[in-house]
């Protein structure tokens, strides 16, 4: 290493220390939740878990896995995430492609048409009335349809598509390919990076949202995981369907059940996260580029 001034060394030490602390503050709650979920119920109730698990017990997991409600809501969330993401990605690409064609005569007006939604939208009540009027209230479509293509992502995808060389487009045109063929055969295969980003953004958004479901889906059989979590974690409803037998009483395990439910809900995101992280950050970078 090169010679460093004392001042610089000091600064570097402080930088490392603060970054380390920042990472600890972020990671600690997550480690704590996991430890709470697998510790012995007695230790959980006695508040003796602080960082690492005390003892080992999967009893709470067993109870949660036996609960039909949680599986049903899990399934619903998957349906919404897959359905909603498919609709959103499709619409985003359909909007981004024409906007990326420089000769398209409605390019500017349509850009404006989409962008306005970033600054002004219908408020909560008109949206609610619309969902009712369309007959979507209490149907899966109330969650899948309205998200659609966000203007911000349309712009992001358009920015990406305009980086694909014009020569590809021109030569395909000369070969007699129509716009549909060009979009489907040339641009979509070349857009895998941006589509990965879009899928991730939309899917995480769907996976994590609860509000629309709370407002539009009174039917318990249609409710997604996040709504179930809300009931258990915030409204304090019980997370078990049947009674609890054996040495551990219900009151003892109910606290631990909450932590188990959090872990179960976090696992999919934390499992895919390491693989997807670079795509997310890539998306942020593309989005940051101005026209």
Partner 1 sequence: MAAKSVVAKRQIKPPLRARAAAGARQLWKNIRRDKALLLIVLPVVIHYLIFVYYPMYGNIIAFKDYSPVLGINGSEWVGFKYFLQFFRSPYFWRVLRNTLLISCYSILWGFPIPIIFALMTNDLRNGIFKRVVQAVSYIPYFISTVIICGMLVNFLSPSNGIVNTIIELFGGKPINFLMEPGWFRTVFIASGIWQGFGWSSIIYLAALTGINPELYEAATMDGASKLQQVIHVSVPCILPTIIVTFIMQIGTLMSVGYEKLILLYNPVTLDVADVISSYVYRTGLVEGNYSFGSAVGLFNSVINLLLVFLANRISKKVSEVSLW
- Residues 58-77, interacting with partner 1 (CB under 8 A): none
User: Does residue 31 touch partner 1 according to CB under 8 A?
Assistant: no
Residue 20 makes contact with partner 1 by CB under 8 A: yes
Among 13, 82, 124, 267, which residue sits at the site for partner 1 (rule: CB under 8 A)?
Answer: 124
94 binds partner 1 (CB under 8 A): yes
**CA-based nearest residue to 200, from 264, 269, 151, 132:** 269
From the list 26, 167, 221, 251, which residue makes contact with partner 1 (rule: CB under 8 A)?
26
Give the number of C-alpha atoms closer than 13 A to the C-alpha of residue 289, restricted to the C-beta side: 14
> Closest distance between partner 1 and the C-beta of residue 203, in Å?
11
The least distance separating partner 1 from the CB of residue 165, rounded to whole angstroms, comes to 19
Among positive and negative, which fits the CA dihedral 217, 218, 222, 225? Answer: positive
> In the window 243-272, what residues touch partner 1 (CB under 8 A)?
255, 258-259, 262, 265-266, 269-270
Q: Which of 3, 102, 125, 246 binds partner 1 (CB under 8 A)?
A: 125
Least distance to partner 1, CB of residue 30, Å: 7
| 189 sits near partner 1 (criterion: CB under 8 A) | no
Q: Which two tokens stand for residue 286?
A: 């593309």
CA dist., res. 291 & res. 289, Å (int):
7
Burial of 1 (0-12, 13-18, 19+ CB in 10 A): exposed
3-state secondary structure of 34: helix
């Amino acid at each position: 290493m090169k010679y460093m001034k004392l001042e610089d060394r000091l600064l570097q030490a402080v930088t490392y220390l603060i970054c380390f602390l920042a990472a600890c503050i972020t990671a600690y709650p997550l480690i704590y939740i996991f430890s709470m979920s697998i510790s012995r119920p007695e230790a959980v109730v006695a508040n003796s878990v602080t960082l690492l698990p005390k003892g080992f017990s999967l009893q709470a997991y067993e109870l949660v896995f036996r609960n039909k409600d949680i599986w049903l809501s899990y399934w619903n969330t998957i349906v919404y995430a897959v359905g909603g993401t498919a609709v959103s990605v499709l619409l985003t690409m359909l909007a981004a492609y024409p906007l990326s064609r420089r000769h398209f005569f409605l390019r500017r007006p349509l850009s404006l048409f989409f962008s306005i939604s970033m600054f002004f939208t219908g408020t909560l009540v008109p949206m609610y009335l619309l969902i009712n009027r369309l007959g979507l209230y209490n149907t899966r479509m109330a969650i899948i349809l309205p998200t659609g293509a966000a203007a911000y992502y349309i712009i992001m995808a358009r920015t990406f598509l305009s980086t694909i060389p014009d020569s590809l487009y021109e030569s395909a045109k000369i070969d007699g390919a129509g716009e549909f063929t060009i979009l489907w055969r040339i641009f979509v295969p070349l857009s895998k990076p941006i589509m990965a980003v879009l899928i991730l953004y939309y899917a995480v958004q769907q996976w994590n949202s609860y509000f629309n479901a709370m407002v539009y889906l009174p039917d318990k059989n249609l409710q997604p995981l996040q709504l179930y979590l809300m009931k258990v974690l915030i409204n304090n409803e019980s997370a078990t369907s049947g009674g609890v037998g054996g040495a551990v009483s219900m009151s003892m395990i109910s606290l631990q059940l909450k932590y188990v439910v959090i872990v179960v809900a976090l696992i999919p995101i934390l499992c895919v996260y390491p693989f997807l992280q670079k795509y997310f950050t890539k998306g942020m970078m593309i989005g940051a580029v101005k026209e």
